[in-house]
Homo-oligomer: A and B are copies of this chain.
Amino acid sequence: MSEKIESQTVTMAHGAGGKQTSELIDKVFAAHFANPDLTADDAAVLNPPVGKMAVSTDGFIVSPAFFPGGNIGKLSICGTVNDLACMGAKPLYLTCAFVIEEGFPMEKLEQIAEAMAKTAKEAGVRIVSGDTKVAGKGQVDGVFITTTGMGQIEDGVQVGGELAKPGDAVIVTGDIGRHGCTILLAREDFGIEADVKSDCAPLWKTVEAVMDTTHELHVIRDATRGGVGTVLYEIAGQSQVGVQIDAAKIPVATEVQGVCGMLGLEPLYLACEGTMVIIAPAEQAEKIVETLHQCPYSQNAAIIGTITEENPGKVIRMTEIGTQSLLPQPGGELLPRIC
């Protein structure tokens, strides 16, 4: 690894395209991201994926940029890798574009780059190209990162929001709402002491393990903005089916449950960044959950409901005492800047 950059903070010169920009790229970004496909030119030259290619882009503006369980760097890799995984695509390449506020601490930028490199490595994706812009103090809040991922869609897998079928099982890969709850607590001073950590994690290997178990999968979707509730409404609409969930079976960490109780929040609408919804034929469900329990980020996976012919476009919640109620449709302003 090359020597450390001297400047303590990011300056306008680091974004001007000259000597200082090169130094920032070499000593902070390239030093961490180094791999044979990383380009120093305007564009990376790559072997394209075989078969079909999946492409996804995501902008990350999470505030605060550092939170229990991760930082904006880790999140910017997870978010895009998970979007590819939801299409059954193995992540191959990733680009990242930074907009950094003048005066941003160099040490924090290093930590972000380090987290990106570590997470990319874990996800098996190569960072191939980047861009750095610096905006004046007050023109951007800290650091924003946009990542774009390219993946190779695995043969024989066809998933999509419109493919849920009556009788299918609804699975969540882990306990829900942790990312949203973490950001909320990190941002607002509620005077609540709770040991909540974001679930932020790269899930390609989890999806791969599930696909190795069965190719009979109908929908895979990560429950980010809007949480599991929003995702279920999207699927209900796209597939024109009903979704019936069993409140007692939804895994929620005790500490998240506690915070939600105190603040009157519904965990189903809190964002996850390392938890997916999987919809698959009922006869595959047990096998899928068994596989998930063996993966590091899905030990709390559970079957939480079924797809129904009745109530198309709606999500119905069965309560512990046997009553049914309509889950209110999400809308309006949720907690902003959670990703």
Say what secondary structure dominates the interface of chain A.
Answer: mixed
Do the beta carbons of B221 and A42 come within 8 Å of each other? yes
A20 at the interface (CB under 8 A from B): yes
A46 at the interface (CB under 8 A from B): yes
A273 to B149, CA, bound (A): 26
A161 to B43, CA, bound (A): 12
How many subunits of this chain does the assembly comprise?
2
Do the beta carbons of A96 and B15 come within 8 Å of each other? no
A160 at the interface (CB under 8 A from B): yes
Instruction: Determine the interface band of chain A, counting residues with CB < 8 A from chain B.
Output: 35 or more
A211 to B332, CA, bound (A): 52
Do the beta carbons of A58 and B333 come within 8 Å of each other? no
Do the beta carbons of B336 and A57 come within 8 Å of each other? no
Do the beta carbons of B230 and A17 come within 8 Å of each other? yes
Do the beta carbons of B56 and A87 come within 8 Å of each other? no
Q: Which residues of B contact A98 (CB under 8 A)?
A: 59
Do the beta carbons of B136 and A139 come within 8 Å of each other? no
Do the beta carbons of A15 and B150 come within 8 Å of each other? no
A98 to B329, CA, bound (A): 26
A294 to B144, CA, bound (A): 41
A135 at the interface (CB under 8 A from B): yes
Closest chain-B Cβ to A269's Cβ sits at a distance in Å of 9
Q: Which of A173-222 contact B (CB under 8 A)?
A: 221-222
Query: Given the known A-B contacts A18-B334, A230-B18, A336-B12, are A55 and B129 also in contact in the complex, defined by CB atoms under 8 Å?
Result: yes
Closest chain-B Cβ to A49's Cβ sits at a distance in Å of 5
Interface on A for B, CB 8 Å cutoff? Answer: 11-13, 15-21, 41-61, 63, 83-84, 86-87, 89, 93, 95-99, 128-136, 138-141, 144, 146, 148-151, 153, 160-161, 221-222, 224-226, 230, 329-334, 336-337, 339
Q: With A47-B53, A57-B96 given, name 6 new contacts (CB 8 A).
A: A16-B334, A16-B336, A19-B329, A42-B86, A95-B148, A136-B336
A-B contacts, 8 listed (Cβ < 8 Å): A16-B226, A16-B336, A17-B226, A18-B331, A44-B56, A46-B52, A61-B140, A134-B336
